[in-house]
């Protein structure tokens, strides 16, 4: 049987994108021997430059990018894959760009499946959300985005499968942010200031490039909205009730430099929240979707240490899914919810799922 070559165009070579390339290159021999597939990166880009390598990247790809990357437009990408007759195309959105999602539809129209770590496409207005899915269906292409919620945890897939099976999901609740899980797990248990643990989370790559995105609650709100829409619920981002962790004197209106040097301002209010809660309680930042009440909410809560949420460690996510068939006991999905390694691995899993679909459509020659 001949090897199946998958051509991956990667948009975004920051933390997650770079690790994805490393994982694919490291697994190249395994993929060939065990799965009979070759994952090839003919094009990788950052926000302004692209490296074109028809035969794929080498281990020195970063040097190649620094020396040979050129300015590009989306039309250049599409023209290149057509010129070189590249097949089995998958575009990876490992960016955080709101603007780039406008490229999804022309990519699909030109033969690409898409894997998105970027949450923006699934949280824009509902009309775009539905039109995007109609485009994938029209062109018989696949859209995968498991890493939108819970890094590499199978949250989206589980909720989608339950819904498609006819299961009545009544509530989804949990800690959806690996960065905020790490921050509050440590802050609750250690004698450490909020600003110290926030900076450590940033340095570990757990937060978004600008950690105000995490502290604002927007990231959790997007994840909650994505899951609500998996249940065919018609919500907009503005429907999510969000209690931000940012302060009036330290929020999105301030410059990055002001924010960077004034994080000590967080310490007093969060220390007060910590010491005034009930005994044997800890702080957790949760998202909750009450399906029957049609209420989406993101907020800081105090929970008993004895509960599943209270026992979280590290940067774990914990999502509880309440459903009619399962009674009062929720389905619980727990595991690492942040970090470039697990997110890149989740993208790779999505790539392999699409690869399996492509394989199944290949003609068989006896």
What are the pLDDT digits (tens) for 30-88? 998 888 999 999 999 999 999 999 999 999 999 999 999 999 999 999 999 999 999 99
Q: How many CA atoms lie within 13 A of 306 on its CB side?
A: 3
Cα pseudo-dihedral 156, 158, 160, 164, rounded to 10:
180
Q: Which of 54, 82, 141, 223 is catalytic?
A: 223
- Look at residue 114 in the predicted model and tell me its pLDDT: 98
| H/E segment holding residue 303 | strand 295-304
Q: Do 13 and 65 meet the contact criterion of CB atoms below 8 Å apart?
A: yes
Tens-digit pLDDT profile for residues 222-237? 999 999 999 999 999 9
Name beta bridge partners: 320. 173, 332
- CA–CA distance from 149 to each of 35, 112, 230 (Å)? 27, 23, 12
223 is catalytic: yes
Q: Do 1 and 36 meet the contact criterion of CB atoms below 8 Å apart?
A: yes
| H/E segment holding residue 268 | helix 267-275
The answer to whether 4-151+342-360 and 155-337 have equal CATH topology is no
User: Which strands make up the sheet holding 4-11, listed edge to edge?
Assistant: 70-71, 49-52, 37-45, 4-11, 89-93, 112-116, 143-144
Those residues of the chain that have pLDDT short of 70 are 1, 362-366
Task: Tell the residue number behind the tokens 């049609």, with chain if given.
Answer: 294
Contacts of 62 (CB under 8 A, 6+ apart): 18
For 155-337, the fitting CATH number among 3.40.50.720, 3.40.630.30, 3.30.360.10, 1.10.3720.10 is 3.30.360.10
Could you tell me the sign of the dihedral formed by the alpha carbons of 168, 174, 178, 180, in that order? positive
- Look at residue 366 in the predicted model and tell me its pLDDT: 43
Tens-digit pLDDT profile for residues 93-103? 999 899 999 99
Q: Do 298 and 316 meet the contact criterion of CB atoms below 8 Å apart?
A: no
Alpha-carbon distance of 139 to 121, in angstroms, equals 18
Distance of CA 33 to the CA centre of its chain: 30
The token pair at 166 is 């006819």
Please state which CATH number belongs to domain 4-151+342-360: 3.40.50.720
Centre a 10 Å sphere on the Cβ of residue 25 and count the other Cβ atoms it contains. 16
Q: Where are the alpha helices (DSSP H) in 49-169?
A: 61-68, 74-83, 104-109, 126-138, 155-164
Alpha-carbon distance of 46 to 25, in angstroms, equals 19
Domain boundaries, the chain: 4-151+342-360, 155-337
- Look at residue 365 in the predicted model and tell me its pLDDT: 45
The token pair at 264 is 């000590």
Tens-digit pLDDT profile for residues 105-116? 999 999 999 999
- Look at residue 185 in the predicted model and tell me its pLDDT: 96
Q: What's the mean pLDDT when you consider all of the chain?
A: 95
Alpha-carbon distance of 298 to 284, in angstroms, equals 11
Task: Tell the residue number behind the tokens 């490992």, with chain if given.
Answer: 94
- Look at residue 1 in the predicted model and tell me its pLDDT: 61
């Amino acid at each position: 049987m001949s090897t199946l070559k998958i051509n991956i165009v990667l948009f975004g070579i920051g933390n997650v994108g770079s690790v994805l390339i490393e994982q694919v290159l490291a697994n190249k021999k395994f993929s060939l021997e065990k799965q009979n597939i070759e994952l090839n990166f003919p094009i990788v880009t950052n926000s302004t430059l692209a490296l074109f390598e028809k035969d794929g990247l080498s281990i020195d790809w970063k040097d190649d990018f620094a020396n040979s990357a050129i300015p590009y437009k989306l039309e250049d990408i599409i023209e290149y894959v057509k010129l070189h007759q590249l097949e089995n195309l998958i575009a990876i959105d490992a960016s955080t760009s709101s603007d780039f999602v406008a490229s999804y539809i022309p990519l699909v129209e030109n033969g690409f499946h898409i894997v998105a770590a970027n949450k923006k496409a699934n949280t824009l207005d509902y009309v775009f959300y539905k039109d995007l899915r109609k485009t994938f269906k029209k062109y018989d292409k696949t859209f995968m985005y498991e890493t939108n919620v819970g890094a590499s945890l199978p949250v989206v897939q589980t909720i989608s499968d339950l819904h498609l099976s006819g299961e009545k999901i009544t509530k989804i609740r949990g800690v959806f942010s690996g960065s905020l899980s790490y921050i509050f797990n440590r802050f609750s248990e250690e004698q450490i200031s909020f600003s110290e643990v926030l900076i450590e989370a940033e340095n570990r790559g757990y937060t978004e490039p600008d950690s105000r995105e995490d502290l604002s609650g927007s990231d959790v709100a997007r994840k909650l909205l994505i899951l609500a829409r998996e249940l065919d619920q018609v919500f907009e981002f503005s429907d999510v009730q969000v209690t931000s962790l940012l302060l009036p004197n330290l929020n999105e209106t301030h410059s990055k430099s002001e924010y960077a040097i004034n994080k000590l301002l967080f310490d007093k209010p969060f220390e007060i929240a910590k010491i005034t809660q009930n005994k044997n309680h800890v702080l957790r930042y949760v998202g909750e979707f009450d399906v029957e009440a049609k209420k989406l909410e993101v907020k800081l809560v105090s929970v008993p240490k004895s509960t599943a949420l209270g026992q979280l460690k590290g940067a774990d996510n914990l999502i509880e899914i309440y459903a009619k068939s399962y009674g009062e006991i929720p389905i619980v999905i727990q595991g690492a919810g942040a970090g470039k390694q697990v997110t890149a691995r989740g993208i790779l899993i999505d790539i392999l799922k699409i690869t399996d679909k492509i394989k199944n459509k290949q003609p068989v020659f006896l």
